[in-house]
């Protein structure tokens, strides 16, 4: 299906940001946004703002995992994006949870933001293993060591289902879903040893690592494996 | 609508609806592996076998 010019523009910006974050996860350093990302009069700056919202809490993941402070400009842009794009009243659960995750991350770094009550996650409890894996992959920014949420609890309760979903995603060549599911599996107890998660993630990288969004999830999984922390 | 949101839309045409669509994607149709990819997986799989199981049979046409 052909993308509209607008969605292609947004997707490209998300890929650029993902590439930057993956690089910082791999090599260290600080996540940087283009100067004046929120204030510049150019369309490129505005696209960056939209891309930050789509990338969500993962923008600051390197700083969460390394326990380092983000650059003030990056944190400011992140905060203003949270404030600018609240979910609409009829937004899908993944949209609401993505925004909640950004608020939690913001609260972690500056003590402000929204330490609000968790959104509802009941839909995951009744989801098929296929849908569960798809939704968890979309919500991969919530897969962070030591950060609890109803989504993480749903994942913890169904590690075999997520493992099945990972295999299904690989066999469907849905590398982004496989990478997101793999990131969750890195944090879960009770994952079948026969899954061969590490080899599976290597395979996903081999086949789909050219997509910066996939690379970001794989670098996140790798960084969390080294940290060895449970959800 | 917050002013920055309006600026983003004015400058790029990207609306909140576009952003929310990106945050709630539908699952793409599956594309199944070919034999070369299976061979690559065999090389990277090590001692595990689950990912190497043969693809599920597809319904016959006609």
pLDDT digit string, tens, across residues A113-169: 556 789 999 999 999 999 999 999 999 999 999 999 999 999 999 999 999 999 999
Q: Is the pLDDT of residue A231 over 50?
A: no
Q: What is the pLDDT of residues B3-18, one digit of tens each?
A: 566 666 666 677 888 8
End-to-end distance of chain A based on CA atoms, in angstroms? 37
Quick one: closest CA in A to B24, which residue? A94
More confident of the two residues A173 and A35: A173
Task: Write out chain B residues lying below 8 Å of A12, CB-based.
Answer: none
Nearest CA-CA distance, residue A118 and chain B, Å: 18
Please give the residue of chain B at the shortest CA–CA distance from A132. Answer: B27
The arithmetic mean of pLDDT across residues A222-228, rounded, is 82
Among A92, A167, A200, beta carbon nearest to B24: A92
For B44, which of A5, A43, A203 is closest by C-beta distance? A203
Task: List chain A domain ranges.
Answer: 1-119, 120-226
Residues from chain B that touch A207, judged by Cβ atoms under 8 A, are: 37, 40
- Please report, rounded to a whole number, the percentage of residues in chain A having pLDDT higher than 90: 77
Q: Taking 50 as the threshold, does the pLDDT of residue B1 lie above it? A: no
pTM over 0.95: no
The Cβ of residue A69 has, within 10 Å, a number of other Cβ atoms equal to 13
A31 Rama sector, left if φ>0, alpha if ψ -120 to 50, beta otherwise: beta
Spatial contact of A192 and B40, defined as CB atoms under 8 Å apart: no
Instruction: Say whether A139 sits in a helix, a strand or coil.
Output: coil
């Amino acid at each position: 299906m052909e993308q509209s010019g607008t969605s292609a523009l947004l997707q490209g910006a998300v890929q650029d940001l993902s590439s930057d974050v993956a690089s910082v996860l791999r090599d260290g350093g600080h996540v940087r946004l283009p100067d004046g990302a929120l204030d510049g009069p150019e369309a490129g700056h505005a696209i960056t703002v939209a891309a930050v919202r789509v990338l969500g809490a993962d923008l600051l993941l390197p700083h969460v995992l390394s326990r380092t402070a983000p650059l003030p400009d990056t944190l400011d842009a992140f905060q203003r994006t949270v404030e600018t794009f609240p979910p609409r009243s009829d937004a899908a659960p993944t949209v609401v949870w993505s925004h909640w995750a950004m608020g939690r991350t913001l609260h972690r770094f500056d003590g402000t933001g929204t330490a609000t009550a968790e959104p509802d996650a009941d839909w995951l409890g009744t989801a098929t293993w296929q849908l569960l894996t798809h939704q968890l992959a979309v919500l991969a920014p919530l897969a962070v060591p030591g950060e609890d949420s109803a989504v993480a609890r749903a994942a913890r309760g169904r590690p075999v289902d997520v493992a099945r979903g990972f295999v299904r995603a690989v066999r469907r060549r849905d590398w982004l879903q496989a990478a997101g599911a793999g990131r969750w599996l890195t944090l879960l107890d009770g994952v079948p040893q026969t899954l061969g998660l590490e080899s599976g993630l290597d395979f996903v990288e081999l086949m789909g690592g050219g997509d910066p969004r996939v690379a970001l999830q794989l670098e996140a999984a790798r960084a969390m494996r080294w940290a060895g922390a449970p959800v | 609508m917050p002013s920055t949101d309006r600026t983003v839309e004015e400058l790029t045409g990207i609306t909140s609806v576009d952003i929310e669509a990106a945050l709630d994607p539908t699952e793409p149709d599956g594309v199944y592996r070919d034999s070369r990819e299976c061979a690559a997986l065999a090389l990277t799989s090590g001692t595990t076998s689950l990912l190497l199981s043969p693809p599920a049979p597809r319904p016959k046409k006609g």
